[in-house]
Structure 1
Amino acid sequence: MLYDLTELKIYSNGDKEFEADMFQTFLNQTSEFLSKTEYYLLQNNMVEIGRIAHKFKSSVSIFGMAAIRQNLDFIEDACRKNADKDHIEKIYNALKVQIMQVVPQIKAEKKLCLK
């Protein structure tokens, strides 16, 4: 499984509305992360890619998304070390696959909260 809701459940203390809000925030931030990363890849702006990868890590952490978090760490580190664009793009593409797998699952979790 790409996520673990243990930490979210601790923070929410059973508040399903809070959990639904957190799921929606994650979905919004995911969309923003993907679109900005693709834009900055086209611009060859690795500094901004590293910055938004760092920012997105907080969103994935509360959901226990260790594999996604690891790829964000790899991207941030590669950008900091001025790695070539192809290397960063390769990591991003693997990350994007993970994100596309987890998004429908998070949407389903959100629906469960709203029942």
Structure 2
Amino acid sequence: MSKGYSLESVNELSGGDDEFITVLVQTFLEEIPPDLEGMGQAVQNNDPTTAYQFAHKMKPNLQLFGIDLLKEIKQVEAWSKSGMEKSEIESILSHIVATVNKAINDLKADFQ
């Protein structure tokens, strides 16, 4: 089964420094779960401004770890400015949550 993440960009950024890679992974594991939860809560509470902020904040970390959700994150950002109902974004949010949780679980298994 394939990993939910890629270290290609992390390795480029770190220059192969294993300690730096570990710090990046730890930072990801500390910051992303609460951001993911916050984005989900914001969508459920129909708070598009907060959903946008969490989506926007998560984007660089997801890209750094090769988690291919840019299209979906942009959809959350667009939803937050569109005035559409939360039902319009819930399936996309579910996909984001499932994908990010897989990456989190894989990173925890590989680095802890």
Query: Number of paired residues?
Result: 110
Is 7-16 or 35-44 further displaced after alignment?
Answer: 35-44
Write the distance in 2 (CA, Å) between the matches of 1:5 and 1:69.
17
Equivalent in the alignment of 1:23: 25
Per the TM alignment, residue 35 of structure 1 is displaced from its structure 2 partner at its CA by 2.1
Is 99-108 or 56-65 further displaced after alignment?
Answer: 99-108
Contact kept? 1:49, 1:79, Cα under 8 Å: yes
Contact kept? 2:44, 2:86, Cα under 8 Å: no
Per the TM alignment, residue 79 of structure 1 is displaced from its structure 2 partner at its CA by 1.3
Unmatched 5+ stretches in structure 2? none
Per the TM alignment, residue 26 of structure 1 is displaced from its structure 2 partner at its CA by 1.0
User: What is the identity, as a one-letter code, of the residue corresponding to 2:70?
Assistant: R
Equivalent in the alignment of 2:101: 100
Normalising by structure 1, report the TM-score: 0.84
1:64 is paired with a residue of what secondary structure?
Answer: coil
Runs of 4+, deviation exceeding 4 Å: none
Write the distance in 1 (CA, Å) between the matches of 2:41 and 2:17.
36
Structural mapping, 1:1-115, within 5 Å: 1=2, 2-66=4-68, 68-111=69-112
Unmatched 5+ stretches in structure 1? none
Root-mean-square deviation over aligned CA pairs: 1.6
Deviation by residue 1:6-27 (Cα, 9 ceiling, x = unmatched): 1110111111111111111111
Normalising by structure 2, report the TM-score: 0.86
Identity %: 24
1:109 is paired with a residue of what secondary structure?
Answer: helix
Contact kept? 1:19, 1:110, Cα under 8 Å: no
Contact kept? 1:79, 1:88, Cα under 8 Å: no
1:19 is paired with a residue of what secondary structure?
Answer: helix
